[in-house]
Structures are given as C-alpha cells and as structure tokens.
Structure 1
Amino acid sequence: MAMNWTSIAAIYVLFWVMSAFIVLPIGLRTPDEVDGHVVGRGHADSAPVNFRPMLVAKRATVLAAVLFGLYYANYALGWFTVEDINFFDAPVKDLGY
C-alpha cells in the first residue's frame, strides 16, 4: 500500500514540528546555571544563554525521521490498527481507504 508524496511530506512536517518542541529544551542553560550573570537589558532571567537553533533543527530532523519511519512502517505493514486499540468494542467505521 503506497502513500501519496504530498501526504508523506505533510506528515513528516508534523513530526518535525513535534520533534522540534521535544528537543528544544535539551542542553539549554539559564544564567543561573552558568554563572549567574544576565547578558544585558531585556534579557529574562529564564532565557537560555546558549541557544543554538541549528543544533535543535538537526536533532529535530533526526528524531522526526525516526518517528516518521516507524509511522510509515506501521502504515505499510499494519502492526497496529484501529481494531487493536479499540478497548471498548465500539463499532469501527470503514472509511473505504
């Protein structure tokens, strides 16, 4: 069973955004954790002093690729279906896909 390339791109983007939020706080340090010195006026005490957006993007890309790979493998091979997670025996509608 194949998926359209537009669906692949849209689902990967969703995984990438979710992954970016997951990896965003990894490795960040506040001024209190580093040396207690706030960089300048307008810099919040809770703002990170070592924010590296390219590193966050790389980590998010790797995590999104892994998660999307698992998603696509499940889509193609049918490891888990709606029937597998239907705990209350509710009728499952066939959408005809």
Structure 2
Amino acid sequence: MFVLITYDVNITSPNGAKRLRRVSKVCLDYGKRVQNSVFECVLTETQFVLLKNQLKGLIEEEQDSVRFYLLGNNWKRRIETIGKNFGLDFTGELII
C-alpha cells in the first residue's frame, strides 16, 4: 500500500529536537522524504503496523502529531504535483 506520512513535533519542548530527529530517521527507514516533514512510503500491512508502533513510542502524544494517509493500491490517480516532483517513481526499475 502507498502511505503518505506527515508529522509535527514540538521542538520547543524538552527533548523535542531529539524526538524530531528520531521520527525523521524512522520514516527514512521506510520511505522517501518529499518535504521537510512529509514522507512517501510503499509498505506491507506488517511494515505499516511496525512503523506506527515505532513512531508511537517516539512521540509525546500531548505535544506531537503524526498523520498517515493511506492511498492504497490505486495511488497513481490520486497524486498531482505542481513544481519539482520529489516523489517516488514506482513504475520504473527499482534497484536496491
């Protein structure tokens, strides 16, 4: 499934900058950054659950926010870009 992840971490709170770096690092393990706090990921159901659990363990729920937009398998028709496209191209070859 294609998942768009956005987050807002309160960096003015104690350890906020550290939480922000950790959230960003976890998201980088699963997808590609397309804007400062926005990631595009192609995940299995298991990966999605693992990612959510990791992020839940990092944030302060009273101060921070993580949002998941599940675009499913028909995501190509749901994404439009104006300007430079930093998104993932899953239609071509992917070398890992």
Give the number of the structure whose alpha-carbon radius of gyration is greater: 1
Hey, which of these two has a bigger chunk of strand by percent? Answer: 2
Higher relative contact order (CA 8 A, sep 6+): 2
The alignment's TM-score, normalised by the length of structure 2, stands at 0.29
The alignment's TM-score, normalised by the length of structure 1, stands at 0.29
